[in-house]
């Protein structure tokens, strides 16, 4: 079945005015988010199953929609689990072995088709918040070896789904778009002297050039925030290097110093 979650995506976008007023004050750059969030790339029209959806219907939904898995919904759009093609094939393989290994086994070749999504699904589902970063979603997929993540609100209700293909879309930005956003980061952090650092981007690799006189601590903050810009593949800090120098990247050291402090 197709589940449309568009009307629920914006139900809870952020804190209320009262919550915002009560929130502790933070450095001004911590209120900015340059990295795109899961809500920016997820799909809100989702193919779903109920707990009672039978085996053969699940197989049809997966095949017709060319997807690897789908959320299983309980009452109120709550994600009860996820059923995948791997779940279906595992049952098929188990039944085949039983027929060969057990003499006189009477189970019919397709008797497992009576199984339902509630019996086949993996539960609890690995889900993610719409406010998580694209990087967090990628790590969750790699850690749990899944290709798709249901996107849920704080109550576990379905808002959408995000796939590996959705996440990879952030790296399709042009170098010009990435450079403009990285310059914005440095402009915001180094308000006193942003023009002292020149930002160029080639194939997603950010190269910083210019004199090394800018505030080192603020530059480290800007580099850390620039890593959150969608499409950034690497950051090379060549400030103070002579023209044509092949001096290795130092941005990583600045980032590591900041994170360990």
Rounded Cα distance, 136 and 148, in Å: 13
- Peptide bond before residue 232 is cis, with ω within 30 degrees of 0: no
Query: Among 60-64, 117-121, 153-157, 230-234, whose mean pLDDT is lowest?
Result: 230-234
Whether this model's pTM surpasses 0.85: no
User: Can you tell me the mean pLDDT for 230-243?
Assistant: 82
Q: What is the pLDDT of residues 148-173, one digit of tens each?
A: 999 999 999 999 999 998 988 877 88
User: Of 9-23, 98-112, 217-231, which one has max mean pLDDT?
Assistant: 217-231
Q: Percent of the chain scored above 90 by pLDDT?
A: 47
Q: List beta partners, residue 82.
A: 71, 122
Q: What is the distance between the alpha carbons of residues 196 and 154, in angstroms, rounded to a whole number?
A: 44
| Domain ranges within the chain, ordered by starting residue | 2-168, 173-260
**What pLDDT does 253 receive?**
42
- CATH number, domain 2-168: 3.10.580.10
The verdict on domain 173-260 having CATH code 3.30.70 is yes
Radius of gyration for the chain, computed over Cα atoms and rounded to the nearest angstrom: 24
Helix (H) or strand (E) holding 256: helix 251-260
DSSP bridge pairs for 71: 82
Helix (H, G, I), strand (E, B) or coil at 159: strand
Look up tokens 């290795």; give the residue: 248
By percentage, how much of the chain surpasses pLDDT 70? 69
């Amino acid at each position: 079945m197709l589940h449309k979650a568009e009307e629920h995506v914006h139900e809870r976008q952020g804190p209320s005015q009262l919550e915002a007023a009560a929130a502790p004050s933070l450095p001004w750059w911590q209120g900015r988010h340059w990295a795109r969030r899961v809500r920016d790339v997820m799909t809100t029209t989702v193919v779903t199953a109920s707990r009672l959806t039978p085996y053969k219907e699940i197989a049809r939904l997966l095949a017709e929609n060319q997807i690897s898995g789908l959320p299983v919904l309980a009452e109120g759009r709550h994600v009860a689990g996820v059923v995948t093609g791997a779940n279906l094939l595992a049952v098929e393989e188990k039944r085949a072995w039983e027929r060969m290994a057990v003499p006189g086994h009477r189970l019919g070749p397709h008797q497992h088709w009576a199984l339902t999504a509630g019996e086949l699904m993996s539960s609890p589902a690995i889900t993610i918040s719409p406010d998580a970063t694209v990087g967090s979603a990628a790590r969750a997929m790699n850690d749990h070896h899944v290709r798709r993540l249901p996107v849920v609100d704080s109550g576990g209700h379905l808002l959408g789904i995000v796939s590996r293909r959705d996440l990879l879309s952030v790296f399709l930005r042009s170098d010009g778009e990435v450079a403009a956003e990285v310059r914005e980061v440095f402009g915001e952090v180094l308000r006193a002297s942003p023009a002292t650092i020149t930002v160029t981007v080639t194939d997603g690799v950010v190269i910083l050039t210019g004199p090394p006189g800018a505030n080192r601590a603020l530059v480290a903050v800007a580099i850390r925030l620039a890593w959150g810009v969608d499409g950034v593949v690497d950051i090379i800090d060549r400030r103070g290097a002579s023209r044509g120098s092949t001096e290795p990247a130092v941005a990583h050291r600045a980032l590591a110093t900041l994170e360990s402090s």
